Amino acid sequence: MPTQIQLPLNKLNIFSGKGVQMRTFHITWFTFFCCFFAWFGMAPLMKIAKEQLHLTKDQIGNIQIASVSATIIARLLIGRLVDKYGPRLVYTWLLIICAIPVLLIGTSQSYISFLLFRLAIGVIGASFVITQFHTSIMFAPNIKGTANATAGGFGNAGGGAANFFMPMIASGFVGLGFCAKEDSWRYAMIVPGILLLVCAYLYYRYTKDTASGNFKEIGYTVDVKKNTFMIAIKDYRTWILTIAYAACFGVEITVDNFAPLFFMDSFGATLAVAGMAAGIFGWINLFARPMGGIVADKIGKVWGFDGKSLLLSVLLLLEGIGIIWFAKSGNLGMAIFMMFFFGLSLKMANGATYSLVPFISPVAVGSVAGIVGAGGNIGAMLIAFMFKAKATHATKEVIENGVVKTKDLIDYTAAFTLLGYIILGIGVGVFIFRTIAARNTAGIKDLALVPAKINA
């Protein structure tokens, strides 16, 4: 028998944990944070793995492509599964399954095995779709952009945390005598794997599918006549947001993967310094993505869907300009400053994009979120191919412990420059086509998955 109906919250108090809505919100963003931590855990340690496994420039490029490729299919599939089975069960199983390659990547002894594990780990990126779906149905339309962006921003910060903390974790295992420096990356990856299993328990035990309860508890039945995936792909606004998200989140993944190597090989930064510098980019998520959602919600109250899309186009233009300046930075300090500048615009654009997603189709929120989210990874994959093609190989003699050694370096300056111009072009395109149809009218019940609506 259905439980008592509880409506989604019409305000977000991040310091509150009362009620199923806020409890779910906090568990959701924390779980997403751990997923990103696991997904990008290898990024700051690639220098060590590269040297131990003797990876070439092209092999590094293939590994980076693999790390984002599996997420594309996973996000498309997850969106449909969440619409049908609910976020609680789908998230739990995703965490358990993805913990396996995270825990086992340390057993890699060759390029092929390492590549396959990185490919499998990429599936964890589908966690974003569940996070956005779950947040969308826990909050009312007037606050969805803010709630989605806050959960997404807090979670995305896991990428920055990985760049910041994973070198420390690796060094910790060495300092405690568990392993040599060359094997430290293998031991360090055990930590995010365990975190995923802990989150799986928390999610299953303490969250609900909706404010009113789990799908089974509220009498949820799937209308087989409604193919939510087809509904989503037939709306051209879905594709506009997909391209926009490729230009912001796709770039975010690229920076998370390539920034540590860029700082080390282009500016001579140490592993720890490069990790901390790249970590700044991830930490921006804590306030920038939420800011994008908050600003979008305020603009939406006055100018509606069209106003939000205008904001998105402006943010993409600023992002493109910032990336070009970043690529042409003459020193590490300037590069970090420009990374902060374009990172702020980029992450606000992430939040602005997903402030629009719930209003494309109220009955297909999961599918729209999945398609747009997959767009981010398609963008990341295409950018990774471009980086592989535009990267140049170089050698440099360095002194380590009084011994002169020849180091193989990779220069991504040309790749980042071209990327900046591409983002500028997409920003102009979104600005031109932003006058899309007015958003669908949706009330709280349409977006809340309450029993009366679900069984209709």
**Looking at residue 455, what is its pLDDT?**
32
Q: What is the mean pLDDT of residues 356-365?
A: 77
Tens of pLDDT, residue by residue over 300-342, are 888 877 788 889 999 999 999 999 999 998 888 999 999 999 9
Grouping H, G, I as helix, E, B as strand and the rest as coil, residue 62 is helix
Q: What is the pLDDT of residue 436?
A: 45
Contact 144, 447 (CB under 8 A): yes
User: 3-state class of 433 per DSSP?
Assistant: coil
- pLDDT, position 72: 86
Burial class (CB in 10 A: 0-12, 13-18, 19+), 218: buried
pLDDT at 32: 96
Residue 95's pLDDT is: 98
| CA dist., res. 259 & res. 282, Å (int) | 11
pLDDT of residue 456: 30
Q: Which among 27, 311, 29 has a CA at the least distance from the CA of 158?
A: 29
Instruction: For the chain, give the percent of residues with pLDDT over 90.
Output: 43
Q: What is the pLDDT of residue 401?
A: 59
pLDDT per residue over 181-195, tens digit each? Answer: 999 999 999 999 999
Neighbouring-strand partners of residue 394: 409
Which of 133, 324, 356, 126 minimizes the C-alpha distance to 243? 356
| Distance separating alpha carbons of residues 186 and 334, to the nearest angstrom | 33
* pLDDT value for 5: 61
Determine the 3-state secondary structure of 213 from DSSP. strand
Output phi, psi for 83, to 5 deg.
-60, -35
Per-residue pLDDT at 287 exceeds 60: yes
Between 299 and 93, the higher pLDDT residue: 93
For residue 117, the model assigns a pLDDT of: 97
Residues forming a β-bridge with 404? 399
pLDDT averaged over the chain? 85
Q: Domains of the chain (ranges plus CATH)?
A: 19-454 (1.20.1250.20)
Total-model pTM: 0.77
pLDDT at 398: 55
Q: How buried is residue 168: exposed, middle or buried, by Cβ count under 10 Å (0-12/13-18/19+)? A: middle
Split at pLDDT 50, 70, 90, the class of 10 is confident
Q: Judge whether residue 366 has pLDDT over 70.
A: yes
Q: What is the mean pLDDT of residues 349-353?
A: 91
Query: Is 433 or 200 the better-scoring residue by pLDDT?
Result: 200
How far, in whole angstroms, is CA 382 from its chain's centroid? 16
The average pLDDT across 335-353 equals 93
- Please say whether the beta carbons of 105 and 188 come within 8 A: no
Number of Cβ atoms within 10 Å of the Cβ of 421? 13
Give dist(CA 294, CA 352) in Å, integer.
8
Q: Which two tokens stand for residue 357?
A: 């997603």
Q: What per-residue confidence (pLDDT) applies to 396?
A: 67
Q: What is the 3-state secondary structure (H, E, C) of 293-357?
A: HHHHHHHHHHHHHHHHHHHHHHHHHHHHHHHHHHHCCCCHHHHHHHHHHHHHHHHHHHHHHHHHH
Q: What is the pLDDT of residue 3?
A: 47
Average pLDDT over residues 426-444: 62
Q: What is the DSSP letter of 209?
A: S
Specify the DSSP element, H or E, that contains 405: strand 403-411
Predicted pLDDT at 82 = 87
Mean pLDDT of 449-454: 38
pLDDT digits (tens, 9 = 90+) for 122-175: 999 999 889 988 998 898 877 887 888 889 889 988 988 998 899 999 999 999
Q: What is the pLDDT of residue 446?
A: 40
Assign 177 a pLDDT band (cuts: 50, 70, 90): very high
Give 3-state DSSP helix, strand, coil % of the chain, rounded to 5. 75, 5, 20
Q: Of the given ranges (44-48, 95-99, 283-287, 441-445), which has the lowest mean pLDDT? A: 441-445
In the chain, the percentage of residues whose pLDDT exceeds 70 is 89
pLDDT at 170: 95
